[in-house]
Amino acid sequence: MLKPTLIQACKAGAAEILRFYNGEFKVSNKEGVNNLVTEADHASEKAIINIIKSTFPDHQILSEEIGALEQNSAYKWIIDPIDGTINFAHGIPLNCVSIGIEKNGEMIMAAVYNPHLNELFFAEKGKGATLNDKPIAVSQQTQTIKSCLVTGFPYTYINTPNGPLEIFERFIRKGVPVRRLGSAAIDLCWVACGRFDGFYEHKLEAWDSAAGYLIVEEAGGTVTDFNGNKFSPYQHRVLATNGKIHNEMLDIINNRKQL
């Protein structure tokens, strides 16, 4: 029942996104500049949680807007009801529902659904990844200089050495195309299906990355932190690639190598 409930929950949240999209809705701001939350975020989250609770009332939930609903269960649903809220609020159709399912601390199933493009990405641990039920795989690019990359920037800017702008500059000054879509979940899924060769970001939360990183791994990609360690959605930094450019990107990110 996990997969049907996951898909149903994604579509319930997406229906709320479409109901509010390009319409009138209330907008408020969380910590940081332009860190928005809308009436649609709350409606999507409520619809998703209602579906989950109707089938699995004892499961834990971690969701962006309401936080943690802890229970004595091995299962945890990690939810972003609208990943790409800024895009949504401005009528840009690059936003999605992102839901990952964790069992005993390991991601076992994930779905990301962009209803504007009708693209449903899905992965189950050990069983591969799909886009609209068709298998997907990462790209075969072997050189970072020839890659198409994607990144994002944190709302609350952290003025630390080797920060987002410094790394961004290393790539773009050498002519590497680096896009900025505004939805980490979509970024990860587009790495998984080969549209991008790599994605990096300095400050993500668990609901941003939990689903997408499993989808990348199940599509044959590699996901780590900036030190090359096994990725956990509970730490902020992520590098997701096709695997073939991963070590080179780690060297560039950590300023050990120049393009």
Positions marked catalytic:
64, 80, 82-83, 85, 208
CB 35 within 8 A of CB 153: no
Tokens standing for 149? Answer: 């990359």
Q: Give CA–CA dist 147/44, Å, rounded.
A: 35
Q: Give CA–CA dist 104/98, Å, rounded.
A: 20
Q: Give CA–CA dist 50/9, Å, rounded.
A: 8
Q: Give CA–CA dist 252/254, Å, rounded.
A: 5
**Residue 98 β-bridge partners:** 80, 112
N- to C-terminal Cα separation, the chain = 48
**Residue 114 β-bridge partners:** 119
CA proximity to 43, closest of 7, 24, 19, 60: 19
